[in-house]
Amino acid sequence: MLSTFDIGIDLGTANILVYSKNKGIAINEPSVVAIDTVTKNVVAVGHEAKEMIGKTPEKIVAIRPMKDGVIADYDVTTELLKHIMRKASKKIGFAVRKPNVVVSIPSGSTSVERRAIQDAVKQAGAKRISLIEEPVAAAIGAGLPVDEPVANVVVDIGGGNTEVAIISFGGVVACHSIKIGGDRLDDDIIQHVRKEYNILIGERTAENIKMEIGFALIDHEERFMDVRGRDLLTGLPKTIKLSSYEIRVAIKEALLHILEAIRATLEDCPAELSGDIVDRGVILTGGGALLNGMEAWLSEEIVVPVQLAPNPLESVAIGTGKALQYMSKLPVAVK
């Protein structure tokens, strides 16, 4: 039975979300920590730290301790988790006792990476830690019948990685994980603007461009956006106009890698489950699923129905929170 104090954490590259039974999504903050490099103290965490990216003096550095869905900087991740757990304890009310925590992990993560996540969460104040693979958590959060012997195909496009999995009877039947996600699209946009216009733009600007005029569909109504950056020749600020067509070309390669991972996973599907996929289609979760025209483009390419999950950004977090209910039914899902 799920206790009021049990929480689920989606420890993502871009955002960290905390789900509880009573409050739903209690915390949703960027996975960013600002640190004073002289004193080594944490200056800001989450939204406040993200606002500082590219705008801080030399002694303060805003960093993302998670990379490609796993811990890149253990100490900073622990500090981030401590801050998030403290914030969650005030909202959810588990200050008196330590909570049981279910944390999502990439399906391709190594035992060392899994141990690092467990240790970091334990240090942040958890009583008992269970790990669940991201695609299974995303499927539970999207409301799919994961405990039934039918094929559920989930494509979770996060900030640092994309997970494609076929889930049946509580386990992952076939899965492909690639280290390409929303961050790679942002990086491709930065490189495109630098190469074509000799203009340097920051991560946040690239993210805004992706959200405003980034399209997965080749055939779409052209949109334009004015973008400010630093001219690399003169060193002065400059404004340029970007087209959604050129952004589509810039992110094309990364999108094709995601498509390749989906095709490879579907090819690994047992023949008995193939019919379910044609009937039930594919569910998209994660922030990358919100890219303009993503559903329509994938549906065209794989000739299978593609649907967006009810809450793409929150599916994994909701799934981690609900996972304990499935422990008896999903012997392989929660460890």
Segment 167-195, tens digit of pLDDT: 988 788 999 999 999 999 999 999 999 99
The total of structural domains in the chain comes to 3
Last residue of a domain, one of 250, 279, 299: 250
Does some domain include residue 145? no
* pLDDT (mean) for 263-268: 93
CATH number of domain containing 308? 3.30.420.40
What is residue 94's predicted lDDT score, i.e. its pLDDT? 60
Radius of gyration of the chain (CA): 20
84 plus 199 within the same structural domain: no
Pairwise CA distance, residues 78 & 169, whole Å: 34
**pLDDT over 80 (residue 96):** no
Task: Please say whether the beta carbons of 103 and 84 come within 8 A.
Answer: no
* CATH number of domain containing 232: 3.90.640.10
* Per-residue pLDDT tens over the stretch 116-169: 889 988 888 888 888 898 999 999 999 998 888 889 999 999 999 999 999 988
Q: Residue 75: give the domain boundaries.
A: 7-137+316-326
When pLDDT is averaged across residues 256-279 and rounded to a whole number, the result is 91
164 and 226 both lie in a single domain:
no
Structure tokens at 238: 């400059």
Same domain, 228 and 293: no
Q: Could you read off the pLDDT of 253-262 as tens digits, one per residue?
A: 999 999 999 9
- pTM for the model: 0.89
- Helix, strand, coil tally for the chain in percent (to 5): 40, 30, 35
Q: Do both 160 and 26 map to the same domain?
A: no
Residue type, 26: A
Same-domain pairing of 65 and 186: no
Return phi, psi of residue 205, to 5°.
-65, -45
Buried b (16+ CB within 10 A) or exposed e, 224-241: eeebebeeeeeeeebebe
* Amino acid sitting at position 295: E
- Same structural domain for residues 284 and 163? yes
> Which residues 6+ apart lie within 8 Å of 206 measured at CB?
186, 187, 189, 190, 193
Q: What percent of the chain has pLDDT over 70?
A: 94
Task: Assess if residue 146 is contained within a domain.
Answer: no
Do residues 15 and 109 share a domain?
yes
256 vs 12, residue with greater confidence: 256
